[in-house]
Amino acid sequence: MSDPDEALLMARVGELWLKGRNRDHFVRALHDNLQTALSAALSHVQVMAGRGRLYVGVGRAEDVPRALAICADVPGLVDVARVERCPPTLDAIEAAALALVEARWAGATGSFAIDGRRTQKTLPFSSSDLNRRVGAAVLAATGLRVDLSRPDRTLSVEVGPRRAHLWTAACPGAGGLPVGTAGGALLMLSGGIDSPVAGYLAQKRGCRLEAVYFHSPPFVGEATRAKVQALARRLAARQGRLTLHVAPFTDPQLAIRDHCDRRMAVLLYRRMMYRIADRLAGRRGLDALCTGEMLGQVASQTMANLTLVDAVCDRLVLRPLLTHDKQESVALARRIGTYETSILPHDDCCALFLPDHPVTRGTAPLMRGQESRIDVDALVEQAAQGVESVEIEP
């Protein structure tokens, strides 16, 4: 970074501190994820690790709101605030507090409180010395009154052995765990609303994602594939880059259309998808699959039918939306910025060649009977061989 920082942000980390020995690993992952997300959007930003905190130097003051918003979206942070930094003496802290209050609380009315704390007991003053000293100075400099139980605004001060930080407002972070600390998962990403949201929720619990999209040209158009890429790009922002695998799915669908009972087509498609995804996950060293399925949402997502798809794969299947309502999924999609892309019209390969009355409750023997009419292994192998992989940058 060339210039001295115009502004400094301080991010507090969450559940990480519960993780004892893994702590350094978690903080390093969080540091890298933050730097990646910020660098994808802004040019003069530098993440630095401190004692139990991450700091972000922002080279241009006008980038601060954007930088705060980006940090608030990175899994693993409890909150993030723009802070002022000064030496850890009462004189310096008082001066910094007055400057901050003048800048942020000019013209404000009502009450305030000082929330001062020390991170080490070795400092030559107590937390109540700190609060009294800063409180008295702010009281004298503003027309505000002190209210310690329900203040209208709070000035926070955190003092460590080498420096103090002061701030007046913190943005809540996304919570969760840093992406990459919980293992890798292969997200089955369609062009719909739910699967990107499921991917986001898995990332938020620390999963690093790759994605697979099953493409059935010419029945499904290139626009759908482009849409899936756009959704993958959204998810990539939280982890740097994301590998999207496009698996050819026309042949399995045609085989099922031509040789099987179409009333079971959706379940048969889905078992083929799961088999191919499972194979691909093995090849990529990924520990789990992840889907946007919700219990009971459609015929293929009943307990019985989810059991039938689980039966064909070896891996854990993460279904972060399993117990959510569609409305909750839509609300999350809006929040993470995938909704507008997801609602663009697209072709759904699961809707191809279907009869009016599909079977809602399959059984394993029924499935196996149908699948004995096609060469499952060869079709899976052929699809897995034909996968095209693209690196998606945020």
d(CA 264, CA 371): 11
Our finding on whether 203 is near ligand ATP (CB under 6 A) is no
Identity of the residue, 8 or 308, whose beta carbon is nearer to Mg ion in the bound complex: 308
For residue 310, count other CB atoms closer than 10 A to its CB: 16
Give the binding-site size for ligand ATP (rule: CB under 6 A): 19
d(CA 6, CA 46): 12
Tokens encoding 204 = 């938020």
Return the residue nearest ligand ATP (CB atom).
192
Pick what 102 binds: ligand ATP, Mg ion, none; C-beta below 5 to 8 Å, kind-dependent: none
Contacts of 393 (CB under 8 A, 6+ apart): 40, 233, 236, 241
For residue 44, count other CB atoms closer than 10 A to its CB: 17
Q: Pick from 298, 55, 59: which is nearest to 194 by CA?
A: 298
d(CA 233, CA 271): 27
Report yes or no: 120 and 157 within 8 Å, Cβ to Cβ: no
Our finding on whether 181 is near Mg ion (CB under 5 A) is no
Pick what 370 binds: Mg ion, ligand ATP, none; C-beta below 5 to 8 Å, kind-dependent: none
Report yes or no: 234 and 341 within 8 Å, Cβ to Cβ: yes
User: Taking the mean position of all CA atoms in its chain, how far away is CA 195?
Assistant: 13
- Residue 197 C-beta: closest distance to ligand ATP, Å: 8
Identity of the residue, 105 or 213, whose beta carbon is nearer to ligand ATP in the bound complex: 213
Identity of the residue, 167 or 214, whose beta carbon is nearer to Mg ion in the bound complex: 214
Identity of the residue, 26 or 214, whose beta carbon is nearer to ligand ATP in the bound complex: 214
Cα angle 81, 84, 88; round to 5: 120
- Residue 274 C-beta: closest distance to Mg ion, Å: 15
- Residue 192 C-beta: closest distance to Mg ion, Å: 4
Residue of the chain from 35, 181, 190, 203 that contacts Mg ion (CB under 5 A):
190
Tokens encoding 146 = 């002190």
Tokens encoding 112 = 């305030």
- Residue 269 C-beta: closest distance to ligand ATP, Å: 8
8-state DSSP, 219:
T
Return the residue nearest Mg ion (CB atom).
192
Identity of the residue, 155 or 235, whose beta carbon is nearer to ligand ATP in the bound complex: 235
Our finding on whether 166 is near ligand ATP (CB under 6 A) is no
Pick what 35 binds: Mg ion, ligand ATP, none; C-beta below 5 to 8 Å, kind-dependent: none
Residue span 254-293 as binding mask against ligand ATP, x where in contact by CB under 6 A, dash where not: -------------------------------------xxx
From 134-142, 150-158, 191-199, 263-271, span contacting Mg ion (CB under 5 A)? 191-199
Contacts of 302 (CB under 8 A, 6+ apart): 295, 296, 360, 361
Pick what 176 binds: ligand ATP, Mg ion, none; C-beta below 5 to 8 Å, kind-dependent: none
d(CA 32, CA 93): 31
Residue 140, phi-psi category: left (phi > 0), alpha (psi -120 to 50), beta (remainder)? alpha
Q: Pick from 54, 47, 57: which is nearest to 27 by CA?
A: 54
Our finding on whether 300 is near Mg ion (CB under 5 A) is no
Report yes or no: 76 and 37 within 8 Å, Cβ to Cβ: no
- Residue 281 C-beta: closest distance to ligand ATP, Å: 13
Amino acid at 24: D
- Residue 283 C-beta: closest distance to ligand ATP, Å: 17
From 44-52, 101-109, 162-170, 212-220, span contacting ligand ATP (CB under 6 A)? 212-220
Residue span 331-370 as binding mask against ligand ATP, x where in contact by CB under 6 A, dash where not: -----------------xxx--------------------
- Residues near Mg ion (CB under 5 A) are 190, 192
- Residues near ligand ATP (CB under 6 A) are 188-190, 192-195, 212-214, 291-293, 297-298, 300, 348-350
